[in-house]
Amino acid sequence: MKKNINNNFYINIIEYVSLFLVLSFILLHNIYMVFIGITLALSLINIKKIELFIKFIFEKEFKKTKDKDKIKNISYTLEETKEDSSLSLVEILEESGYIPSDDNFKENNAA
């Protein structure tokens, strides 16, 4: 409960600061302070959407890191299987019984 009260207190202060910055143009004639005040006001209006956007970005980055870890694990397992298998491509073809012939290769050429 106390955290909620403090949060609302800070939001109220930011609302008044943004209003003060926009109205300060009358006295100080500084347009940059007006832009900062407008930006603060717009961010307070859309604070829920901004929070959802930040959560989305963090979840997306977390998912990417998870995917990268999975890819690393897959690559490690592939390296381990490469080390374990001692058969070459020729030996695999010999075991399967498939031997490509030159006759079929010459007939398939279009030019």
Model pLDDT for residues 46-101, shown as the tens digit of each residue: 888 888 888 888 888 777 777 666 666 665 555 555 554 565 666 766 667 666 66
More confident of the two residues 32 and 76: 32
| 70 & 89 share domain | yes
| 24 & 53 share domain | no
Q: For residue 3, which phi and psi values (nearest 5 degrees)?
A: -65, -40
Structural domain includes residue 83: yes
Structural domain includes residue 32: yes
More confident of the two residues 50 and 103: 50
pLDDT for 32 equals 92
Q: How far is CA 84 from CA 29, 74, 78, 94, in A?
A: 76, 15, 10, 19
Q: How far is CA 68 from CA 14, 29, 51, 59, 80, in A?
A: 40, 52, 26, 14, 18
Number of domains in the chain: 2
| 40 & 80 share domain | no
| 53 & 39 share domain | no
